[in-house]
Amino acid sequence: MSEKKLIIPRKLSGFMELPPSKQAVLDNMIEKIKNVYQSSGFMPLDTPVLELSEILLAKSGGDIDKEVYNFKKGDTDICMRYDLTVPLARYVAMNSEQISFPFKRYQIGKVYRGERAQKGRFREFIQCDADIVGLNDLSLVADAECLMLVSKVFNALDIDILIHISNRNILFGICEAIGKKEVAEDILRNLDKLSKIGQENVLQELYNLSLNENEAKSLIKLTKTNGNFADVLSKIKPLSNNETYQKGIGELEQLYSYLKAYNLDEKKYILDLSIIRGQNYYTGTIFEAIMPSHPEFGTVCGGGRYNNLAGYYTVKKMPGVGLSIGLTRLFSLLDQNNLLPAFKETNLDLQIIPLGETIEECLTLQAYFSTKINCEVNYENRSFKAKMKEANKRQIPFILVVGENEVQSKTYALKDMLSGEQLQLTKEEILSKLINNK
């Protein structure tokens, strides 16, 4: 009889899997983000991971279409969501009669992109989104509110960021002004690659789109413009009288006035025309946040205004603005660079170790302590020495030893694993001490 061949355990590349101690840190970050969203009036929403392909791909285009996980089940063509914004648009279109506008929602969930797995890029990753959706109209105050939300979230995470802000109407307007409106999306897509493929390669791509040398170089020069919001705005305002361009200027001026009213520190954001954002559903304000101490991390949060997103699903006009944090990537970068907050191997405050036939007493004590602290009983059939060694390895702060004498006297040996101190206390005294120690 042949032996069963074991399958070597392995996982797909591009999918993050954490040990429990680090997962606890990630969960804590999620909780902080969630608290900021909720305290700012955003309500939770959860949409399905799977969507009909005609819904999800209605307005994606470009490289995104190539990355979408797509399959058929019977006659149904299905995609796995690649972001949380398109499902939001589908949701508000379906439920517009029941929604109160402006609709402020947040969603924290996994999304999927079938791109080549590499350092800092994943095929499955957590996005933490917050969006404001209006009906017929949505004030630019909403854009400023989202930028304030970005600042609040990263303050809560104790991560210093700089927000780079732009408006897609600026570069679109210039494309219109030089007679290249039909290929404006392609032009912006190539300009967005400046930092990745370099100026010479982008120039060649622009020449391929029939731009002459002056047009191409002027666009690249404008795209590279960044700095203090007011200074850059003053510098670029007179560059074109194109209507779309001046619309972008007007929106940036209005946004700037709201950010000042919000008292957002002007050292925390700049005007940067190189911010383009790849998704073509953005129509106005766009922004990306970076960590000045680690610019090599790239974007840690991005978002913007999308006035026409729901237009594929409803005749109602539903403008929106939102932000997205790619938390899996951010967490991975922080982990690789030893920037994560300290984490413990356990969330326990106390472990109870039985000696002899005292397991029932230990379970009774666990039930008593667990109303106020995190507690467990080590009921494994192992030696006392082995149990203490394991407790130390797991960084459990206190151990309660329960033997026959303790059961009779109702006082128990509580050991502080850090100091080594051991006290004989009643269960009430133990609980009081551990609560005060938290």
**Domain match, 398 and 318 both:** no
Same domain? For 127 and 226 the reply is yes
Instruction: Check: CB of residue 275 under 8 Å from CB of residue 224.
Output: no
Domain boundary among 336, 364, 394: 336
Domain assignment present for residue 38? The answer is yes
Residue of 107, 133, 106, 108 whose CA lies nearest to 42 = 106
**Span 226-264, pLDDT tens digits:** 999 999 999 999 999 999 999 999 999 999 999 999 999
Say if residue 191 is in the same domain as residue 259: yes
Q: Is residue 32 located within the same domain as residue 162?
A: yes
CB neighbourhood size of 399 (10 A): 20
Residue 239 shares a structural domain with residue 187: yes
Q: In this predicted model, what pLDDT tens digit does every residue of 92-139 receive, in sequence order?
A: 999 999 999 999 999 999 999 987 777 767 999 999 999 999 999 999
Considering the domain boundaries, does residue 341 fall inside one? no
pLDDT-derived band at 312, boundaries 50, 70, 90: confident
DSSP conformation class of 99: P
Tell me if residue 158 falls in helix, strand or coil.
coil
For 294, the token pair is 């680690």
User: Among residues 291, 312, 336, which one ends one of the domains?
Assistant: 336
The whole-angstrom separation of Cα 166 and Cα 288 is 9
The per-residue pLDDT for 281 is 74
CATH code of the domain in which 415 resides: 3.40.50.800
Residues 328 and 413 in one domain: no
User: Which of 336, 370, 396 is where one domain is finished?
Assistant: 336
With 90 as the cut, is the pLDDT of residue 396 above it? yes
Q: Residues 38-48, buried b or exposed e (16+ Cβ, 10 A)? A: eebebeebebe
**CA–CA separation, 429 and 28 (whole Å):** 30
Residue 399's domain comprises 350-437
pLDDT at 221 over 80: yes
Question: Does residue 14 lie within any of the structural domains?
Answer: no
Alpha helices in 262-358, H assignment, sequence order: 327-336
- The domain total for the chain is 2
Q: What CATH number corresponds to the domain at position 199?
A: 3.30.930.10
Same domain, yes or no, for 320 and 362? Answer: no
Q: What share of the chain is helix, strand, coil (3-state, %, to 5)?
A: 45, 20, 35
Residues 38 and 78 in one domain: yes
Rounded CA separation 192/288 (Å): 13
Q: Note whether 283 and 363 are same-domain residues.
A: no
Tell me whether residue 263 is in a domain.
yes
pLDDT score recorded for residue 57: 85
Do 206 and 251 belong to one domain? yes
Structure tokens, 162: 């700089």
Exposure pattern of 361-378 as b/e (b: 16+ CB <10 Å)? bbebbbeebeeebebbbb
Same-domain pairing of 196 and 308: yes
* Per-residue model confidence as pLDDT tens digits over 259-295: 999 999 999 999 999 999 866 678 999 999 999 999 9
Q: Is residue 7 part of a domain?
A: no
Position 220, amino acid: I
Stretch 381-385: mean pLDDT: 91
Any domain includes 15: no
Distance CA 30, CA 33 (A): 5
Largest alpha-carbon pair distance within the chain?
A: 93
Does one domain contain both 150 and 87? yes
Structure tokens given for 53: 């392909």
- CB 316, CB 310: distance < 8 Å: yes
Assigned domain for 12 exists: no
Structural domain includes residue 9: no
What is the crossing angle of helices 427-437 and 359-369, to 10°? 50
